[in-house]
A and B are shown apart, each in its own frame.
Chain A
Amino acid sequence: MPYKLTVNGQPATVDVPEDTPLLWVVRDVLGLHGTKYGCGMALCGCCTVHINGEAARSCTTSIARAAGKHITTLEGLSENGTHPVQVAWQEIDVPQCGYCQAGQMMSASALLAKNPHPTDADIDAAMDGNICRCGTYLRIRKAIHKAAEIAAKQTKEPAAAVHS
Chain B
Amino acid sequence: METTLVSRRSFLRASVIAGGGMMLAYYIEPMEKVLAAQFGPPVTLLPASFITIAPDGVITIIAKNPEIGQGVKVMLPMLIAEELDADWKDVRIEQGDLNPAKYGLQIAGGSTATPINWEPMRQLGAQCRQMLIGSAAQTWNVPESECTTTASRVHHVASKRSATYGELASKAATMPVPDPKTLKMKDPKDYRFIGHSMANPDIKKILTGKPVFGIDFTMPGMLYANYEKCPVFGGKVVSANLDEVKAQPGIRHAFVVEPSGDPSALVGGVAIVADSWYQARHARDNVLKVVWDEGPTAAQSSELYATTSVEMSKNDPGQTLRKDGDADAAFGTAAHVVEAAYSYPFLSHVPLEPMNCSAYFKDGKLEVWAPSQTPASGVGQTAKTLGIDQKDITLHLTRMGGGFGRRLTNDYMVEVAVIAKQIGVPVKLLWTREQDMAHDFYRPAGFHFLKGGVDADGKLVAWRNHFVTFGEKGRFAQSAGLSGEEFPSRFVPNFSQLSSMMPSGVPMGAMRAPGSNAIAFVMQSFIDELAHAAGKDPVQFRLDMLANEPLPSAAPPPGTPVAFAPVPFDAARMRGVLTTVAERSGWGKTKLPKDTAMGVAFHFSHRGYFAEVAEVSVTGGTNVKVHKAWVVGDIGSVGGINPTAAENISQGAVIEAMSHAMGYEIVIDKGRAVQSNFHQYPPLRLTQAPREIDIFFVKTDNPPTGLGEPALPPMIPAITNAMFAVTGKRIRSLPLSTQGYSWA
Contact = CB atoms under 8 A, between A and B. Distances in A.
Interface of A: 16-17, 19-21, 24, 28-29, 31-41, 43-44, 46, 73-75, 78, 80-81, 86, 89-90, 93, 95-102, 105, 120, 123-125, 127-128, 130-141
Given A40-B434, A134-B655, 10 more contacts: A43-B679, A44-B352, A99-B213, A130-B686, A133-B350, A135-B652, A135-B655, A136-B652, A138-B692, A139-B651
B649 interface: yes
Contacts of B686: 123-124, 127-128, 130, 132, 137, 140-141
A33 to B, nearest CB: 4
Given A40-B433, A73-B209, A99-B352, A128 B687 contact: yes
B433 A98 contact: no
Contacts of B354: 37-38
Nearest to B404: A133
B450 to A, nearest CB: 30
Interface in B368-399: 399
A137 B684 CA distance: 10
A125 B685 CA distance: 11
Contacts of A46: 352
Enumerate the 8 nearest inter-chain pairs by beta-carbon distance, A residue then B residue, closest first.
Answer: A34-B209, A135-B655, A97-B69, A99-B401, A135-B652, A98-B206, A96-B69, A74-B209
A65 B319 CA distance: 61
Contacts of B691: 120, 138
B682 to A, nearest CB: 8
A15 B369 CA distance: 29
B351 A37 contact: no
B203 A93 contact: yes
A144 to B, nearest CB: 10
Contact of A80 (B202, B208, B277, B690): B208
A41 B354 CA distance: 14
Nearest to A25: B278
Interface in B672-699: 677-679, 683-687, 689-693
B402 interface: yes
A36 B652 contact: no
B652 A134 contact: yes
22 contacts: A28-B224, A34-B210, A36-B215, A36-B401, A38-B353, A41-B678, A46-B352, A74-B207, A75-B209, A95-B69, A96-B69, A96-B70, A96-B652, A98-B213, A99-B69, A131-B352, A132-B686, A133-B351, A137-B685, A138-B691, A138-B692, A141-B686
B207 A134 contact: no
Interface of B: 68-71, 197, 199-200, 202-204, 206-213, 215-216, 218, 224, 249, 276-278, 282, 350-354, 399-404, 430, 432-434, 644-645, 648-649, 651-656, 677-679, 683-687, 689-693
A81 B689 contact: no
B648 A137 contact: no
B204 A81 contact: yes
B203 A95 contact: yes
Contacts of A90: 199, 203-204, 207
Nearest to B676: A41
Given A34-B208, A101-B206, A96 B352 contact: no
Contacts of B648: 93, 96, 134, 136, 139
Nearest to A129: B685
Contacts of B213: 33, 36, 98-99
B207 A81 contact: yes
Contacts of A86: 207-208
Contacts of B652: 96, 134-136
Contacts of A123: 686
B209 A135 contact: no
Given A28-B276, A40-B433, A99-B353, A81 B208 contact: yes
B520 to A, nearest CB: 18
A29 to B, nearest CB: 7
A83 B416 CA distance: 38
Contacts of B200: 93, 95, 98
B678 A96 contact: no
A29 B218 CA distance: 12
Contacts of A16: 276, 278
Contacts of B656: 133, 135
Contacts of A137: 655, 684-686, 689
Contact of A74 (B208, B654, B655, B678): B208
B412 to A, nearest CB: 15
B278 A101 contact: no
B401 A97 contact: yes
B352 A95 contact: no
Contact of A135 (B208, B276, B653, B679): B653
Nearest to A97: B69
Contact of B402 (A37, A120, A134): A134
A39 to B, nearest CB: 5
Which interface residue of B215, B652, B691 has the most chain A CB atoms within 10 A? B652
Contacts of B197: 93
A58 B449 CA distance: 48
B679 A17 contact: no
Given A24-B276, A95-B206, A31 B649 contact: no
A30 B433 CA distance: 23
A134 B649 CA distance: 8
A40 B203 contact: no
Contacts of B692: 138
A41 to B, nearest CB: 6
A123 B430 CA distance: 33
Nearest to A76: B209
A134 B679 contact: no
Nearest to B351: A133
A69 B143 CA distance: 71
A99 B197 CA distance: 21
